[in-house]
């Protein structure tokens, strides 16, 4: 990960105090579902409790399950872990992923680098939810996102939780409001739902999830909160394996600006309300469900990149023919977070040398220069534009390249020629003038 040095410590900010308002144009509204299929036994909702100072934006999200859940989570690797990260991780370890009843999240204040008081605030949020669902032992995941270094207006949150509890429900509108309540600089609420069947079973299961994030997006993990819930019966150990695998290929495979936050959390709850035999670690059903959850997490995480601060393009970097998945992902990550590559994409400059340069300094061994290939893949179904073939530059049609780079969606293919046959994808966006402006604005907000 490269380091950006600016006059303020913006790399430690989970979210600036500036709130970008939801987009009203079709570019973003097309990503917001108007209906959905939601898992049984979950009640959700979002309200305004006063963390955000505009007096109206939803800022408190609450999720409860009628049945005890198996739970899994993946947290930020930033050394400065926020209080809710520490509290939630301790709760899950204590319970060994069993008997979790819900989740509470606030937006507008990160409760990060807030000392002992911040820990107490996060614990108080979880404890009140526990009481509302009738649990004596800690059973609630806690999340926060917003400005770092400030204490939560905890009285407003604690006063708001009972109100939120009375307004919970299972409808599409309830899920939409929950997704809105975790947003900060997002321009649209990000949530997805779908139904599926496992193996030859006739039982229909459902999964729903939401995420927030638009800047400071880079693993491990990005500045995001992510939450998924499903009504499949899954043993806790299997659920953690499923989530870890899925996150490695989704939320840990996205980058907007290369910065890692203090609050990042992705959680997965499974309450088994739809019935069926509990899925165990190492079973065939675990692998089937793992693929379903991974694809779902990929789709959800892509929405975060699409809403990248200042972004004009959604870019998939696919690296093929590596000796391992890890090698392929490392190369794809290096390309995806290269400032030179990202600015070239914004400028519609087919400078494949920047892509090749990033590939070369990725630190991956086994790359065969004389067998390396680079192409642009149009998303309109037209023919790929080959830039480098077996280490030799192609005579690139600049007009055709400019047409491809003008598209909102773009894919870059790089083949390493190692004959290992492994591949990985990474999702990123371009760097625009607006990216710089937003970064500067956020720095002053600190």
Per-residue pLDDT tens over the stretch 299-349 = 999 998 888 766 788 999 999 999 999 999 999 999 998 989 988 888 888
At residue 424, does pLDDT exceed 60?
yes
pLDDT in tens, 384-418: 999 999 999 999 998 899 899 999 999 999 999 99
Query: What's the rounded Cα separation, in Å, for the pair 275 and 172?
Result: 22
At residue 286, does pLDDT exceed 60?
yes
Mean pLDDT of 88-98: 98
At residue 445, does pLDDT exceed 80?
no
Report long-range pairs for 136-140 (Cβ below 8 Å, ≥24 apart). Answer: 137/95, 137/99, 138/91, 138/94, 138/95, 139/68, 139/91, 139/95, 139/99, 139/100, 139/101, 139/102, 140/91, 140/100, 140/101, 140/102, 140/103, 140/104
Query: What's the rounded Cα separation, in Å, for the pair 25 and 247?
Result: 30
Residue 223 · residue 112 · CB < 8 Å: no
What pLDDT, on the 0 to 100 scale, is given for residue 29? 84
Residue 150 buriedness (CB in 10 A; 0-12 / 13-18 / 19+): middle
Strands 60-75 and 100-109: antiparallel
Query: What's the rounded Cα separation, in Å, for the pair 115 and 111?
Result: 9
Sign of CA dihedral 74, 77, 79, 80: negative
What pLDDT, on the 0 to 100 scale, is given for residue 271? 98
What pLDDT, on the 0 to 100 scale, is given for residue 9? 30
Of the ranges 37-51, 102-116, 279-293, 430-444, which one carries the lowest mean pLDDT score?
Answer: 430-444
What pLDDT, on the 0 to 100 scale, is given for residue 28? 77
Average pLDDT, the chain: 88
pLDDT in tens, 159-177: 999 999 999 999 999 999 9
What pLDDT, on the 0 to 100 scale, is given for residue 24? 52
Quote the strand ranges of 289-382, DSSP E: 314-322, 373-378
At residue 5, does pLDDT exceed 70?
no
pLDDT in tens, 197-240: 998 889 999 999 999 975 544 443 335 799 999 999 999 999 99
**Residue 174 DSSP symbol:** H
Query: What's the rounded Cα separation, in Å, for the pair 384 and 82?
Result: 45
- By C-alpha distance, which of 429, 74, 63, 72 is closest to 263? 74
At residue 57, does pLDDT exceed 90?
yes
At residue 251, does pLDDT exceed 70?
yes
Residue 144 · residue 263 · CB < 8 Å: yes
Query: What's the rounded Cα separation, in Å, for the pair 57 and 62?
Result: 15
Q: Which active-site residues does the annotation give? A: 223
What pLDDT, on the 0 to 100 scale, is given for residue 255? 80
DSSP bridge partners of 108: 146
Query: What's the rounded Cα separation, in Å, for the pair 271 and 41?
Result: 7
**Residue 432 DSSP symbol:** -
Of the ranges 2-6, 196-200, 316-320, 424-428, which one carries the lowest mean pLDDT score?
Answer: 2-6
- By C-alpha distance, which of 202, 305, 320 is closest to 252? 305
Of the ranges 114-123, 223-232, 278-287, 294-303, which one carries the lowest mean pLDDT score?
Answer: 223-232
Q: What is the dihedral of CA 213, 216, 217, 219, to 10 degrees?
A: -130
Residue with the bigger pLDDT between 441 and 153: it is: 153
DSSP bridge partners of 410: 315, 378
DSSP bridge partners of 192: 209
């Amino acid at each position: 990960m490269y380091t950006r040095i600016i006059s303020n410590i913006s790399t430690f900010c989970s979210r600036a105090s500036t709130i970008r308002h939801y987009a009203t144009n079709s570019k973003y509204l097309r990503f917001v579902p108007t209906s959905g299929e939601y898992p049984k036994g979950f009640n959700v909702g979002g309200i305004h409790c006063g963390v955000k100072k505009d007096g109206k934006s939803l800022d408190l999200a609450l999720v409860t399950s009628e049945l005890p859940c198996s739970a899994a989570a993946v947290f930020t690797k930033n050394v400065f872990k926020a209080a809710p990260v520490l509290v939630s991780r301790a709760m899950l370890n204590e319970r060994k992923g069993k008997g979790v009843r819900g989740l509470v999240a606030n937006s507008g204040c990160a409760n990060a680098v807030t000392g002992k008081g911040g820990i107490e605030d996060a614990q108080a949020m979880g404890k009140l939810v526990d009481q509302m669902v009738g649990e004596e032992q800690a059973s609630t995941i806690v999340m926060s996102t917003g400005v770092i270094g400030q204490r939560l207006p905890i009285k407003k949150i604690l006063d708001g939780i009972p109100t939120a509890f009375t307004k919970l429900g299972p409808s599409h509108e309830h899920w939409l409001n929950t997704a809105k309540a975790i947003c900060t600089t997002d321009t649209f609420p990000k949530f997805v739902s779908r139904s599926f069947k496992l193996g030859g079973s006739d039982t229909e299961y459902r999964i729903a999830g939401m995420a927030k994030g638009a800047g400071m997006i880079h693993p491990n993990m990005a500045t995001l909160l992510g939450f998924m819930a499903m009504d499949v019966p899954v043993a806790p150990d299997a659920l953690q394996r499923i989530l870890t695998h899925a996150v490695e290929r989704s939320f840990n495979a996205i980058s907007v600006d290369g910065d890692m936050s203090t609050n990042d959390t992705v959680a997965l709850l499974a309450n088994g309300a739809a019935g069926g035999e509990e899925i165990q670690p190492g079973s065939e059903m675990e692998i089937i469900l793992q693929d379903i959850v991974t694809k779902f997490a990929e789709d959800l995480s892509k929405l975060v990149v699409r809403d990248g601060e200042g972004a004009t393009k959604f870019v998939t970097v696919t690296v093929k023919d590596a000796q391992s998945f890890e090698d392929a992902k490392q190369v794809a990550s290096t390309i995806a977070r290269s400032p030179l590559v990202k600015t070239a994409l914004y400028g519609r400059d087919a400078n494949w040398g920047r892509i090749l340069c990033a590939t070369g300094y990725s630190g991956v061994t086994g790359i065969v220069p004389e067998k390396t290939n680079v192409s642009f893949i149009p998303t309109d179904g037209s023919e790929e534009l080959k830039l480098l073939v077996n280490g030799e530059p192609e005579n690139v049609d600049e007009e055709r390249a400019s047409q491809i780079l003008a598209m909102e969606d773009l894919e870059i293919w790089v083949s390493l020629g190692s004959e290992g046959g492994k591949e990985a994808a990474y999702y990123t966006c371009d760097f625009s003038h607006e990216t710089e402006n937003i970064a500067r604005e956020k720095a002053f907000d600190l």
